[in-house]
Amino acid sequence: MLDRLPDALRIKFEDALASGKHAKVSRNRFGFHVRTYPTETEAREQGEEKTEQPTANGDTNRKFRFKLTSFADLRPGPEPLYLIDELIPIAGIVDVWGKAKCYKSFWTLDAMLHVAKGWEYRDRCVQQGTVVYCAFEGAHGYKKRAAALRKHYRIPEDEDVPLRLISGQANLIQEHKLLIADIRAQLGNTRPIAVVLDTLNKSLYGSESNDEDMGNYIRAAEAIRDAFGCVVIIVHHCGYDESHPRGHTSLPGAVDAQLAIIRSEATVTVTVEMMRDGPEDTIVTSAAQSVEIGHDQNGKVLTSLVLVPAETQAFTAERQKWPLTLATFHKATTDALAAHGAPFQYQVGTLPVRAVDLEAVRKQFYDRYAVGEKDEQKKQDTLKKAFRRGLSHAQQKKVVEARNHDARTMVWFPEREC
């Protein structure tokens, strides 16, 4: 019957379902109409609103929508803070961004499989739960990716992993209520712990650069977050200069965490650029491996990729002891590579690496390194000395490699860190 309704009535019916209300389509001599009924919880709450309750001053009895909480009651509880420890928060909006073909979708799917299974991820604690992965872009390839993950992690063919895929494009601004209703209807009493929107571009009917369109998209993502009390992970492309997420700045301003992904050959580096009330500059490094998953109808071998740990624990422990100049130099190099990195063959017969001009690293270093000098000349001298120390430490500890090329010095991360 729904397909016979005018759009306005159909949308009203779907909105009622999405908000958890009961709805009924009726017809009289004037045509079709939609009636909505409050849920039992709403009816009970409405009844409570009419019941007088004591207040602090005892003057007026009422139920408050905007309730005051005393400072003494503002105390952290035992509830978890992270979905993946110090990488993805347990709730909120997370932006995972990077340039095309940087394996950001492979990484996100792998991380979400760990969440669905309750496995530690790169030695980090994980909160287990059901994941809904909206493959709005390249959904045809996810069957192969799932097969590769199943084979790599030796997951039995008949095991029902609590990871659910939604394929096809969507207009999230217009259809987020329907998406919420469909997820509820199919999961029943199960609440997803994470919903992935991959990618923003394929679920936004509008312009990523338009403040109104992006604002409406953010509100749609927040509605999903609020409906399930989960984290919503938005997979997104980079901007024109590859130094920031594409589109209007309202997205970075609204998210609870922003993760940047860069790829150098088979190595994928994920950096926590921003996290509200959490640590930043956390880095997770993975290596892509090809997995054979069968043959096509013509007998050709089918393959897909899985991501495996690439960073050693010893290197992670060593990095915690770095001096400030080295830590700043490392971060400056990471940012410069993300913004200006390009393939560079430093030796004949070797594969190109992703390298960047040392001057681009210098600029990032100067922007990050704090100097208390007020005199401009002294400030520049201090920055130069600090930069030289950072570069020297980085080369001594083999954090970076450097080669002179065409009157420039090119730097890159060696294989373990690229």
More confident residue, 391 or 36: 391
How high is the pLDDT of residue 169?
A: 87
Handedness of CA 356, 357, 363, 366 (dihedral sign): positive
The pLDDT value recorded for residue 9 is 64
What's the pLDDT tens digit per position in 103-120?
999 999 999 999 999 999
Q: What pLDDT is stored for residue 61 in this prediction?
A: 66
Dump pLDDT digits (tens) for 54-88.
555 555 567 888 889 889 888 877 678 899 999 99
- Residue 365 pLDDT greater than 60, yes or no: yes
> DSSP readout, 126-148?
B----EEEEE-SSGGGHHHHHHH
Fill in the amino acid letter for 74: L
Q: Is the pTM of this model over 0.75?
A: no
Residue with tokens 């560079």: 344
- Res. 25 pLDDT band, cuts 50 70 90: low
Please tell me whether the peptide bond between 69 and the residue prior to it is cis, using omega within 30 degrees of 0. Answer: no
Q: How far apart are CA 371 and CA 390, in angstroms?
A: 15
CA pair distance 393, 387, nearest whole angstrom: 10
Is residue 417 pLDDT above 60, yes or no?
no
Classify residue 165 as exposed, middle or buried by CB count within 10 Å of its CB (0-12, 13-18, 19+). middle
In this structure, of 215-219, 284-288, 317-321, 352-356, the range with the lowest mean pLDDT score is 317-321
Write phi, then psi, for 343 (nearest 5 degrees): -60, 135
Q: What is the pLDDT of residues 135-166, one digit of tens each?
A: 998 878 899 999 999 999 999 999 999 999 99
Asked if residue 29 has pLDDT above 60, the reply is no
Q: Which domains does the chain have, with CATH numbers?
A: 1-48 (no CATH), 82-311 (3.40.50.300), 319-412 (no CATH)
Tell whether the model's pLDDT for residue 274 goes beyond 70: yes
The dihedrals phi and psi of 174, each to the nearest 5 degrees, come to: -85, -25
Higher pLDDT, 33 or 396: 396
pLDDT value of residue 216: 95
Which amino acid type is present at position 352? P
Is 62 within 8 Å of 55 (Cβ atoms)? yes
In which band, very low, low, confident or very high, does the pLDDT at 167 lie, cut at 50, 70 and 90? very high
Q: What is the mean pLDDT of the chain?
A: 84
Percent of the chain, pLDDT > 70? 81
